[in-house]
Amino acid sequence: MATREAMLNGAVEALATGDPAAVSANRIAKQIGVTWGTVQYQFGDADGFWAAVLHHTAERRAGLFASTDSGAPLRARVAGIVDTLFSGLDAPDSRAIENLRAALPRNPDDLDRLYPATAAELRSWGQSWNETCQKAFADLHVNPVRVHHVAAFIPGAMRGLVSEKQLGSYADLDEAREGLTNAIAAYLNEGST
């Protein structure tokens, strides 16, 4: 019998293909060689399964931003975040998350109603991401409201750049990352106390 960990790894692998049909807990169960009953026993229902998959991916990337070089200047810290997201958003875990999120309801009220555990996991990500960003710049006395603004937009901006990389782009994505890094650093520096 597959372990819980093996089921979660199998789910990430299936979802990372990008196939919209892969967003089926029953289909994933068959792919990893277990019954839907086994998945239900481990996770309760599809909502519990999706929440566990999201939590599993969060645990695997927990250390990505754990340490901030307290001696690093503002721009270097911004560049570190931009570069880490640029490489990380193309990884299998990120592709799996994107495929799953694309299949979930877009309206937060619908998501809360239909997939409460999944919605709670996603909401916790937003909170922990904001905390990560606040910690990254705390010793530089950057305006926390500006850090919150950056935390809100940078994942989407980086997904856009990663999408350009995946689709093939005529733009120089190294220059795009450089420009984004400089713009964010200038915005945060302007709001320093």
**In this structure, are residues 50 and 101 in contact, taking their beta carbons and an 8 Å threshold?**
no
Dig out the tokens for 62 from the structure: 């927990």
**In this structure, are residues 143 and 191 in contact, taking their beta carbons and an 8 Å threshold?**
yes
43 lies in which domain range?
Answer: 4-58
> What is the chain's length?
193
Are 24 and 118 part of one and the same domain? no
Are 165 and 139 part of one and the same domain? yes
**Backbone angles phi and psi of 87, in degrees to 5:** -80, -40
Q: pLDDT tens-digit profile of 110-146?
A: 999 999 999 999 999 888 889 889 999 988 989 999 9
Whole-prediction pTM value?
A: 0.85
Q: What is the CATH number of the domain that holds 12?
A: 1.10.10
Confidence band for 54, pLDDT divided at 50, 70 and 90: very high
Total structural domains within the chain:
2
